[in-house]
Structure 1
Amino acid sequence: MTVVCLAYAPIAVTELWPYARPGAPALGEWLLGRSVSPEFVAEAVRDRMGPYSRSLAPLILHSVLGGLLMLLGPVQLLTALRRRVRLHRITGTVFAVTVYVSMAGAALYLVRTPPEQAFSGAAFWIVLATILVGTVGSVSLGVLAAIRGLPDLHQRWMLLCYGFLMTAPLLRLEWGFLPSLYPGLSIQDINRVAIMHLGALVSFGALLASRALDRRATVPGVTGTWCPAPVMAAVHLAGAAGLAWTTVAFLDHGAGGRRLLLAYVVPYAVTYAVIVVRAARARVRGADWAREEWRMHLAALCLAPAFSAVTVPVLERTMGLDRLTALVAGVGTGCGVLAYAAVTVVSLRVLHGRELLKRQRPFAERPATGPAPVSVAAREGDHR
């Protein structure tokens, strides 16, 4: 992650300079032109020129600060691991402020640009808006958890926030990789393939990081499970139904639909398999909290296709989208939205355990009531 961030930071800072001043150096365009083709770069620039020209200043602000965030993320992780508390708090404050200002620039672009006129179309616009909301919401809840003295929840929310930010460098990597896998595809089609799994990929990475940093076998106050067998059976049925509907919907769109379905199903299956194995291993070694968190994320992953299936007709009716565009947008946002919901449920699980401990503590500390015990000698003296 650190290598990717350090490599992408100068690309992010210089990415939009040529749009403001033609001929200005842009490291990303130079690298992409040599890894793919100059024609692919020219197409990407041409498609972005119109939408970006309406909000160039906010987008440059967003891009430059995005490069700074790529540097601050590894700094935050390293200071947390090395327990440099003061430095971690200072850089964390800078990180949070930078996220807000950078996302404000992106929000201005989205507000000023109609979805159908955005770079790579309405589906890409919807996915970008979802990432923006998830990033701002995650950093806000992460800051709130830090203020309330909840480091375990702070860690989870900040990792999820940075996962959403990592969609930018990972998308650029896919720009360099996917054209060799699918030669001849336009930049819009490449972006559609990428957003099929980027949300699932970054949220899964945040989950792996959270579990790697949390070595606790149990959490005080957390007993039992919020995901018993009937709940898991129900979410698996809902997920299977949603996945079946999604599969049929994509297959109705020929070769392009099959390509998009493959880009979604393969990472989804890998993610599902890893979570199931990790939950089983946690059960074997008696790590109840790890097993519970894995199961909550598994339930959310199962519900993602069902969420997407419900979202597609809503997008069609409310935004006037065609079926394929609504399908790409609904599927592209499903795993990210449900991962956000899973972290929310995990947070509520921890807070519920803390509340139970608070309620039990007064009863444990309360002194016994009733008359004070009288010694045998005192009773005999009274009798005499």
Structure 2
Amino acid sequence: MGRPTSTRRGRVAALAVTVVCLAYAPIAATELWPYASPGAPAIGEWLLGRSVSPEFVAEAVRDRMGPYTRSLAPLIVHSVLGGLLMLLGPVQLLSAVRRRIRLHRIAGTVFAVTVYVSMAGAALYLVRTPPEQAFSGAAFWIVLATILAGTVGSVTLGVLAAVRGLPDLHQRWMLLCYGFLMTAPLLRLEWGFLPALYPGLSIQDINRVAIMHLGSLVSFGALLASRALDRRTTVPGLSGTWCPRPVLVAVHLAGAAGLTWITVAFLDQGSGGRRLLLGYVVPYAATYAVIAVRAARARARGADWPHEEWRLHLAALCLAPAFSAVAVPVLERSMGLGRLTALIAGVGIGCGMLAYAAVTVVSLRVLYGRELLKRQRALAERPTAPVTPAPDAVSVAATSTSPEGDR
């Protein structure tokens, strides 16, 4: 009963992601046309104006006009190619699931090249724009820079895993890469429904609420997809755990301390801080509950590999608030940010960065197991040196009592 239900859920999730990607592709491709040519059609603005209000759209355009105008050409390249990536993602996923190897390799090559060129356009915008002058401020700039680094790093490691013949690791890194790319359409969806939840908020405040949990949601989605596609219960060469109970207890204590500090810091910021805290804690708690339950179920059925992967990601998720708590004063001092801006930025990047670290540890875990297995096989196949048998006692005695020996 478990597997058919899981399969149905996976298909529904894949269909939902595909629909979102196909719907967002033309929005991404046309989003910046009006900035280059006033009056040019922009599907996203048209939809947002009817789902929220024309005033909300006008505010978004006004706030983006200055930062975007200075880097319009690279941003148009970034957005147009971003639309292409939204189309290539489902092609990659479906071709992998249906074993269309040739199509998967061709589309994957185009996907990787497109990621690099698209992210280069975004990087030019970030380099040319001081953080405090970026759309939605310095915290948004820091989160965008982190997503850019995570996207480029993920696709690079995914390509390297494919070249080395490591399909399981290739799959994990590419899913994480696409998860980071999905922050763009998900942010637009939040532009549509968060104003109904928080009437009167500016688009800057909407963006601050959104970045509280987008990194957590997309990395969690990548993890769910990875586990759904990997049906192995064991992996050759892997035994034991890299996250024993004392380590798990320690990361929980660190996470609780970090979460307490974050809670107090946000509550000190008044109603706006409480709103941001809610946008962080609720998705975080839901993500923690799902991962903890999945880890417990895997252990109960004796599935060692799923249990280990869930456990490693659970440890990383616990460390995310601690990482954010440490990052806040670092961002304050290194970038000269105010406490609230540093707090938003530190919390906004915490879950995404720790998810990236978790995939890195999982990859090292798999590579270590394979290296260990390789060494065991090499020892088993090593030829043993011939051993000269020692003379037995009877032969020695006969030699010692022979006539020649007496003489």
Same fold (TM over 0.5): yes
The answer for the alignment partner of 2:13 in structure 1 is: none
Displacement after TM superposition at 1:366 (Å): 1.7
Question: Equivalents in 2 of 1:141, 1:11: separation in Å?
Answer: 29
Question: Equivalents in 1 of 2:366, 2:73: separation in Å?
Answer: 42
The answer for the alignment partner of 1:371 in structure 2 is: 387
Write the letter of the residue equivalent to 2:50: R
Question: Equivalents in 2 of 1:202, 1:244: separation in Å?
Answer: 24
The answer for the alignment partner of 2:322 in structure 1 is: 306
Residue from 63, 86, 100 that aligns with 1:70? 86
Displacement after TM superposition at 1:371 (Å): 2.8
Report 1:344-359 matches (<5 A).
Answer: 344-359=360-375
The answer for the alignment partner of 2:332 in structure 1 is: 316
Displacement after TM superposition at 1:101 (Å): 0.1
**Percent of aligned pairs sharing the same letter:** 87
Write the letter of the residue equivalent to 1:225: T
**Pairing 1:230–2:243 present:** no
Runs (5+) with no aligned partner, structure 2: 1-16, 400-407
**Pairing 1:295–2:318 present:** no
The answer for the alignment partner of 1:93 in structure 2 is: 109
The answer for the alignment partner of 1:30 in structure 2 is: 46
Question: Equivalents in 2 of 1:189, 1:128: separation in Å?
Answer: 16
Q: May I ask how many residue pairs the two structures share in their alignment?
A: 379
Bigger Rg, which one: 2
Residue from 244, 248, 255 that aligns with 2:264? 248
Output one character per residue of 1:101-130: Cα deviation in whole Å (capped at 9) or x when no partner.
000000000000000000000000000000
Question: Equivalents in 1 of 2:327, 2:384: separation in Å?
Answer: 57
Question: Equivalents in 2 of 1:362, 1:191: separation in Å?
Answer: 55
**Pairing 1:204–2:220 present:** yes
Output one character per residue of 1:19-50: Cα deviation in whole Å (capped at 9) or x when no partner.
00000000000000000000000000000000
Displacement after TM superposition at 1:368 (Å): 3.0
**Pairing 1:81–2:133 present:** no
Output one character per residue of 1:74-94: Cα deviation in whole Å (capped at 9) or x when no partner.
000010011111111011000
The answer for the alignment partner of 2:69 in structure 1 is: 53
SS in 2 for 1:273: helix
Displacement after TM superposition at 1:367 (Å): 2.6
SS in 2 for 1:369: coil
The answer for the alignment partner of 2:10 in structure 1 is: none
Residue from 19, 23, 44 that aligns with 1:3? 19
Write the letter of the residue equivalent to 1:203: S
Question: Equivalents in 1 of 2:18, 2:388: separation in Å?
Answer: 66
Output one character per residue of 1:147-200: Cα deviation in whole Å (capped at 9) or x when no partner.
000000000000000000000000000000000000000000000000000000
Residue from 122, 140, 144 that aligns with 1:106? 122
Question: Equivalents in 1 of 2:389, 2:333: separation in Å?
Answer: 76
Question: Equivalents in 1 of 2:153, 2:180: separation in Å?
Answer: 11
SS in 1 for 2:242: coil
Residue from 50, 55, 62 that aligns with 1:39? 55
Displacement after TM superposition at 1:363 (Å): 1.2
Output one character per residue of 1:41-66: Cα deviation in whole Å (capped at 9) or x when no partner.
00000000000000000000000000
Q: Point out 4+ residue stretches in structure 1 off by more than 4 angstroms.
A: none
The answer for the alignment partner of 1:185 in structure 2 is: 201
Q: Which moved more, 1:66-75 or 1:354-363?
A: 354-363
Question: Equivalents in 2 of 1:373, 1:30: separation in Å?
Answer: 91
The answer for the alignment partner of 1:217 in structure 2 is: 233
Displacement after TM superposition at 1:369 (Å): 2.6
Question: Equivalents in 2 of 1:372, 1:336: separation in Å?
Answer: 63
Question: Equivalents in 1 of 2:388, 2:176: separation in Å?
Answer: 57
User: Once superposed, what is the RMSD of the aligned Cα atoms?
Assistant: 1.4
**Pairing 1:161–2:164 present:** no
Question: Equivalents in 1 of 2:22, 2:239: separation in Å?
Answer: 42
SS in 2 for 1:368: coil
Residue from 165, 180, 192 that aligns with 1:176? 192
Question: Equivalents in 1 of 2:389, 2:74: separation in Å?
Answer: 77
Question: Equivalents in 1 of 2:160, 2:59: separation in Å?
Answer: 43
Write the letter of the residue equivalent to 1:257: G
Question: Equivalents in 2 of 1:234, 1:43: separation in Å?
Answer: 46
Displacement after TM superposition at 1:352 (Å): 0.3
Displacement after TM superposition at 1:268 (Å): 0.2
